[in-house]
Structure 1
Amino acid sequence: MQLFLPIADVPVNVFLILAMGAAVGFVSGMFGIGGGFLMTPLLIFIGISPAVAVASVSSHMAASSFSGALSYWRRRAIDPALSMVLLSGGVIGTALGVWIFTLLRSVGQLDLIIALSYVALLTTVGTLMLLEGARAILRTRKGPQPLTRRARAQGWILGLPLKMRFKRSKIYLSVIPVVAIGLFIGFLGAIMGVGGGFLLIPILIYVLRVPTSTVIGTSMTLTLATMIFATILHATTNHLVDAVLALVLMVGGVIGAQFGARAGQRIRGEHLRLLLGLLILSVGIRFAVELVIKPAELFSIRDLGSGG
């Protein structure tokens, strides 16, 4: 069954899009991540332009993170102060990212930059997660390790000025690295169409030492806010948000997430990290292959203007 996407300006198989949404939703439910880093490449692989894929996935990410953020808020598993400081940087980073996005599109370099960014990000993160997951499995096989005292934030962070107490997370540190992290995640989301949770959560845990009890909910809050802002900017500035595409992806994502959450509860944490690292690395390698193989058509015509 063919469905015409008005903004992407291409016909697609509606069952294929539903299946992609369900597959990414399954992965999101299993690993507890947004899935934008998978959805955007998959859309590009089936022929949707990178610009439309990034803009449309932003709206999909905003919708999919809403229920999760609401659930964590009801359980008081979100640090409001930390969320607001992250968001102050996230809004600036998102606005900057959309501006760079528009500029690159106007000069015809957006597709290449998106592809290179995905290759660099996914291969690096995938390799690191793969190695960390393998080390965790080896540690588990060696038997229980002696408990160690919970480490504090990195030493150089503790020496920064403008300190603030985040009561819900029970940490006291400078707002400078928190704002910088929010800015980076917001910028990344606007350029690449990713919520950034798969990067933000490890950074908050291992760099700022935020407790895991509040880190996931806080991450979802930032994803929700930055993706809503990115969607609005992409829709008003570049006119690239395909609502039909986003809606079909949401339907598939909701269905897949239910099964993924159940599957994730049956798999050990270290095995989940190993599988996720392998998945991320595979997508990064596929993107790299796409960059070096000879295309079927050597020339293409595309509107490079700022309008839709």
Structure 2
Amino acid sequence: MDLYLPVANLSVNALVIIMLGGGVGFLSGMFGVGGGFLTTPLLIFYGIPPTVAAASAATQVTGASVSGVMAHLDRDGVDLRMGAVLVVGGLIGSLMGAALFELLTAWGQIDTVIAVLYVVLLGTVGMIMGREAWGAFRASKEGLPPPARRRRHHPMVSNLPLRWRFYRSGLYISPLAPLILGMVVGILTMLLGVGGGFIMVPAMLYLLGMGTQVVVGTSLFQILFVTIATTMVHAMTTGAVDIVLAGLLLLGSVVGAQIGARFAQKARPEYLRLALAAIVLLVALQMAVGLFVRPDEIYTVQ
């Protein structure tokens, strides 16, 4: 069934978009990630303009984050004070990202920048995840316990001025660290349409030294508000949000997430982590190839 996307200015098969959203939702439910970092590249592969793909993916991440935040709030898995600082940083970053988005669009470089950022970020994250997952996999094969992670914040965080107590996270650090982290994720959310969880969660663990019991919930709390702000900023400035596309993606992801969550309960964690790392690296490789392959149509009319 073909459906016209008014902002993207093209017709797509609605069933394909729903299945794409369902696939990303399945990965989200199975691996515990937002899935936004895969939605935008997959939409670009399908033929959606990168600007529309990034803006509409942020809208989908907003809807998909609501239920996750509510679930973590119910079990007291959110550090609200830390989340508030991250949200403030994310809002500032989204405004900075909007200015950068418009500037790059005016220069005609936004599509290239989106592709390059995805290659760098996904390639780096995929290699880090793959290395850790392979270590855990080998330890499991040899019957050894996985190496324990030492919980402490990065020395750079220790040197920042001012200190607050974040009781739920068990931290006494400068609020400047989560503020800057939130700003970086806000910029990336605006440019790439990602929730930022695949960057936020490792940074909260290894840079801020937060406890694992509140990391995911606090990350989702920040993602929810920042993607709401990002969607509004995109709608008012770039006009790149295609609500029809976002609705189709959200419809598929809600169903796919439930199936993925049930599947994850039956699979071994080390296999899941290796599979996710492989998927991330394959998407990064495909994006990298696309940067050097000559397109079928060199010129397009916007």
Partner of 2:202: 202
Separation in 2 of the partners of 1:50 and 1:187? 16
Q: 1:152 to 1:244 in 2, by over 3 A?
A: same
1:81 to partner: Cα distance? 0.5
Q: 1:119 to 1:146 in 2, by over 3 A?
A: closer
Partner of 1:94: 94
1:166 to partner: Cα distance? 0.6
Q: 1:148 to 1:253 in 2, by over 3 A?
A: closer
1:52 aligns with 2:52: yes
Separation in 2 of the partners of 1:129 and 1:207? 16
In 1, are the aligned partners of 2:21 and 2:250 still within 8 Å (CA)?
A: yes
Partner of 1:226: 226
Separation in 1 of the partners of 2:29 and 2:244? 23
Pairing of 1:245-256 with structure 2 (within 5 A): 245-256=245-256
Separation in 1 of the partners of 2:149 and 2:69? 30
1:159 to partner: Cα distance? 3.1
Partner of 2:165: 165
Separation in 2 of the partners of 1:128 and 1:48? 29
Q: Which letter does structure 1 place at the counterpart of 2:125?
A: V
Separation in 2 of the partners of 1:247 and 1:151? 40
1:147 to partner: Cα distance? 7.9
SS at match of 1:88: helix
User: For 1:19-64, what per-residue CA distance to the aligned partner results, in whole angstroms no more than 9, with x for missing partners?
Assistant: 1010000000001111111110111111111111111111111111
Partner of 2:258: 258
User: For 1:126-182, what per-residue CA distance to the aligned partner results, in whole angstroms no more than 9, with x for missing partners?
Assistant: 122112111111122233349868432223322322111011111111112111111
Q: Which letter does structure 1 place at the counterpart of 2:35?
A: G
Separation in 2 of the partners of 1:254 and 1:297? 35
In 1, are the aligned partners of 2:91 and 2:186 still within 8 Å (CA)?
A: yes
Separation in 2 of the partners of 1:2 and 1:199? 35
Q: 1:36 to 1:149 in 2, by over 3 A?
A: closer
In 1, are the aligned partners of 2:59 and 2:246 still within 8 Å (CA)?
A: yes
1:205 to partner: Cα distance? 1.1
Pairing of 1:1-308 with structure 2 (within 5 A): 1-145=1-145, 150-302=150-302
Unpaired stretches in structure 1, ≥5 consecutive residues: 303-308
Q: 1:235 to 1:270 in 2, by over 3 A?
A: same
SS at match of 1:244: helix
Separation in 1 of the partners of 2:160 and 2:107? 39
Separation in 2 of the partners of 1:58 and 1:15? 20
Length-normalised TM-score, structure 2: 0.96
1:66 to partner: Cα distance? 0.9
SS at match of 1:8: coil
Q: CA RMSD in A?
A: 1.4
Separation in 1 of the partners of 2:148 and 2:115? 41
Length-normalised TM-score, structure 1: 0.95
In 1, are the aligned partners of 2:26 and 2:259 still within 8 Å (CA)?
A: yes
Separation in 1 of the partners of 2:93 and 2:273? 28
Separation in 2 of the partners of 1:147 and 1:7? 49
Q: 1:119 to 1:148 in 2, by over 3 A?
A: closer
Unpaired stretches in structure 2, ≥5 consecutive residues: none
SS at match of 1:33: coil
1:268 to partner: Cα distance? 2.1
Aligned length: 302
1:115 to partner: Cα distance? 0.8
Q: 1:148 to 1:292 in 2, by over 3 A?
A: closer
SS at match of 2:277: helix
